[in-house]
Structure 1
Amino acid sequence: MIKNFIMNHGMRLVMFNKFVPLKLLSIAATRFASVIVMLKRLKLIKRCLLELVISEQWEAYREDDVEKASNVKMKVLDDTWWDKVDYILSFTAPLYEMLRACDTDKPCLHLVYDMWDTMIEKVKQAIYKHERLQPEQTSNFYDVVHTILVSRWNKNNTPLHCLAHSLNPRYYSHEWLSEDSSRVAPHRDPEVAKERINCLKKYFPLMSERRVVAQEFANFSSMAGDFSDSDSIAQCYDMDLKSWWVTYGTSAPALQCLALKLLVQPSSSSCA
């Protein structure tokens, strides 16, 4: 309403351009996160909008839509409304950032599963902070949001996400596991293990092949055999993933080949 009122009239747009250095984005409702993008832009120009609606030019302008002009002014000067904008942006920011990160050409297939868990936790923290709730308490609003997010994840999650997650050596490192007490290594996560097994059955239809791969994965995930090398363990947290597998994965050729394919794959947020 604010955007349309300003941009659909030449005189109002001239006043707006005098006070605001940025343009109001015109985003179709069907575009990605259009409401969030608009709210972010409004917040970015908040101070300029305040100066605009209390200016002499705004007060002197009475050509038409006096009632709408009054409504726009009341909305812009309403601290409660701006608090709601801040709240919406606070709990949607983790989701928005994750979708943006997945919508690039950078390899991130192996990051999606962990990003999803982290995103949901950040959304919960933002909502609980606003409602002043303790972690053990229940939030009806968060329950609704969580149901929507889990439903979307169940729709878009594939065994490949879990397999790529399982082949990321970083998620087995002491450094990563110690960052959060609730974290577990991929081979100890029941959901990840189930989907990984399903994926390996498609990649390796023969039992003899799967038996070899299963042993290779057991050595990799438990840091046994050649994976027990001190340099391999020390560098699994911060070394480039492809370089790590090229350097330390030669004892597991089947798994190494699979890892080198999956860990360089981009993802897409189009379906989300």
Structure 2
Amino acid sequence: MERSAVDLKIERELCANGIPFNVLRNPQFQEMVTAIKRAPNDYKAPSSEKARTVLLDECVGDVEKELIPFKDTWYSHGLSIVSDGWINVKYKPLINVLAVNNRGSMFMYAEDFSEILQKEFFWLEDTYNKGKTIVKYFMNHGQALSMFRENSKLELLQVAKTRFASHYILLKRLTLYREALSTTISLNSWRDWAKQGDEQARNAAQTVVNIIRDDNFWNEVENILKITKPIYMVVKFCDGEGLKMGEIYEKMDIMLGEIKYAMELYFSQVKQILLNRWEKMSIPLHCLGFALSPRFYDTRFLETIEPGGEKRTAPNNDKQVVNGVLEAFNRIGENEAERNLLRAPFATFHMKKGLYSLLAAHLDVVTMEAIDGWSTYGAKTPELAEVAKKVLSQPISSSSAERNWSTYSNIHSVKRNRLNCKTADKLVYAHSNIRMISRFSESYKEGPHKK
């Protein structure tokens, strides 16, 4: 009965404040309950004033300490600065800044961008110059990028701002609800609505009826889904977290093969459209990541056939990849001597000489992550191993920055509109980074609080 009484008090707290029941599954909630049980007998909960000032600052400081191991990977694996723009509930333009590598997306801060917008941003018409203006602003004012001027040990791989979109899900849902749509236009309520409207509404209603009853329309939708599903899967792959830089080039080849398999008649035109788009997005870093992924040189992998029926080739036998690798080396090396320190070891790597010729290395390329493989077998080519770990750790899209705005809108919402930008920034910092840290704990993968 005593336990039930406590459970009821917790339930009343959740209901009174509109807190989702899922919070009970959160390990942070269980830690809070355990801490309260161990508290002194005269313990009292902190006041609202203390929670939003002193305790919030202490929480941010505590999170910063836990982030030190993640920041240490910036020196060995490099990082990318990812950003995106947004307007908060007070109509202030914000740009967030995240430091991203293979260990996760670390929220740094969200900065009020209104000053730069008013002075020198609106008159810029092309995206390229807008991007240069944002980077220049960060280099001069941003907390994250300023450290690169002060600490030469850190290496910035890229400043990324990329957006992906797809109508695939909408069309997929249309096919799922085809029967429901057909039922809807047969109802009396639909007919009554169409009759009561003006001529424009009646024409629109008749157009809808004609489309839903048109088998040719649905056949076209099915064909479009067959073609766009491979594109959608690549977009979905890019939007996820984890090691992506070494995979995206291969994913594009697979996508083209799957589209070729789905359609024969107009494949050449579709392929040209996709390749034109890929040329705008592709950078030498993608080619270098592909060429530095050991599993793409595995004999068993090369013996398999790509979707579309084409034979696979090793990255070093692909002219476009090799050109991208050489261009990337030209950008990374400051002089010809440094570039030679990368080109010669690259030949040792793809020709499988030295440590790369060991049987264990041939077996591990299938099971190990590429970065783990370079950390294990890269001792003979330390310069190339260092570059490989940094390149393969980088993200290929800014989806993490866009997801961060969802967190921001949940915290700085219409109901919570009195929060100033500084307090909201601290809350988002603590929330986002606590979640990122939790993903590397064992309890995230196993146990009652899994994910």
TM-score range relative to shorter protein: 0.7 to 0.9
Counterpart mapping for 1:81-160 below 5 A: 81-128=217-264, 139=265, 141-160=266-285
What CA deviation, in whole Å up to 9, does each residue of 1:94-120 have, x standing for no partner?
A: 112212322334331211111111111
Does the 8 Å contact 1:172/1:221 carry over to 2? yes
- Residues 91 and 257 (structure 1), Cα distance of their counterparts in 2 relative to 1, 3 Å cut: same
State the match for 2:298 in structure 1.
173
Q: How does 1:150-229 map to 2 (within 5 A)?
A: 150-180=275-305, 182-229=311-358
- Shift, 1:48, TM fit: 1.4
**Offset, 1:186:** 0.7
Distance in 1 separating the partners of 2:184 and 2:367: 49
> What amino acid does structure 1 have at the position aligned with 2:184?
L
Question: Which residue in 2 is equivalent to 1:73?
Answer: 209
Q: Would the aligned equivalents of 1:176 and 1:237 in 2 still touch at CA under 8 Å?
A: no
- Which of 1 and 2 has greater Rg? 2
Distance 1:107 1:231 in 2: 23
44-53 vs 54-63, greater mean Cα deviation = 54-63
* Bigger Cα displacement from structure 2, 207-216 vs 166-175: 207-216
Secondary structure of the corresponding residue to residue 236 of structure 1:
helix
Instruction: For 2:316 and 2:387, locate their aligned partners in 1 and report how far apart those are by CA, in whole Å.
Output: 17
Structure 1 unaligned residues grouped into runs of 5+: 1-30, 129-138
Residue 269 of structure 1: how far off its partner (Å):
7.3
Query: What TM-score results when the alignment is normalised by the length of structure 2?
Result: 0.48
Instruction: From the superposition, tell whether residues 33 and 261 of structure 1 become closer, same or farther in structure 2 (CA, over 3 Å).
Output: closer
Q: Aligned partners of 2:183 and 2:368: how far apart in 1?
A: 50
CA distance in 2, matches of 1:117, 1:269: 22
Matching of residue 41 in structure 1 with residue 166 in structure 2:
no
Question: SS where residue 367 of structure 2 aligns?
Answer: coil
Name the aligned partner's letter for residue 171 of structure 1.
F
Secondary structure of 1:183's aligned partner: coil
Match of 2:185 in 1: 53
Superposition deviation, residue 86 in structure 1? 0.7
Q: After superposition, what is the alpha-carbon deviation per residue over 1:35-58, rounded to whole angstroms, capped at 9, x for unaligned?
A: 444322212222211222233443
The aligned counterpart of 1:10 is none
Secondary structure at 1:117's aligned position in 2? helix
Unaligned runs of 5+ in 2: 1-162, 400-451
1:107, 1:267 within 8 Å by CA — same for their partners in 2? no
Whether the 8 Å contact between 2:166 and 2:232 is mirrored in structure 1 is: no
Q: Indicate the SS of the match to 1:100.
A: helix
Q: Is the 8 A contact 2:164 2:235 kept in 1?
A: no
Is 1:63 equivalent to 2:196 in the alignment?
yes
- Verify: 1:245 aligned to 2:378, yes or no: no
Give, in angstroms, the shift of residue 93 of structure 1.
1.5
Equivalent position to 1:260, from 365, 375, 389: 389
Q: Which amino acid aligns with 2:214?
A: D
The amino acid of 2:187's aligned partner reads S
Partner amino acid for 1:245?
A: W
- Cα distance in 2 for partners of 1:33, 1:112 equals 17
Q: Which amino acid aligns with 2:333?
A: F
Please give the per-residue CA displacement for 1:50-104, whole angstroms capped at 9, x wherever unaligned: 2222334434543223443233222112221111111111101111221232233
**C-alpha spacing 1:229/1:168, structure 2 compared with 1 (3 Å):** same
Alignment check: 8 A CA contact 2:250 2:290 kept = yes
Kindly tell me: are residues 151 and 269 of structure 1, through their superposed partners in 2, closer, same or farther at Cα, counting changes over 3 Å? Answer: farther
TM-score (norm 1): 0.76
Q: Which moved more, 1:247-256 or 1:173-182?
A: 173-182
The total of aligned residue pairs comes to 229
Percent of aligned positions that are identical = 31
Structure 1 residue 34: Cα displacement: 5.6
Please say if residues 166 and 186 of structure 1, whose CA atoms lie closer than 8 Å, have aligned partners that are also in contact. Answer: yes
* Contact 1:124–1:142 (Cα < 8 Å) also in 2: yes
Distance 1:71 1:194 in 2: 52
Q: Distance in 1 between matches of 2:336 and 2:346?
A: 15
Q: Deviations over 1:176-231 (max 9, x none)?
A: 21221521111111111111112112212333333332232122111111111111
Contact persistence 2:243–2:395 (CA under 8 A): yes
Distance 1:207 1:224, change over 3 A: same
**Aligned counterparts of 1:269 and 1:45: Cα–Cα separation in 2:** 32
Alpha-carbon distance between aligned partners in 2 of 1:35 and 1:171, rounded to the nearest angstrom: 32
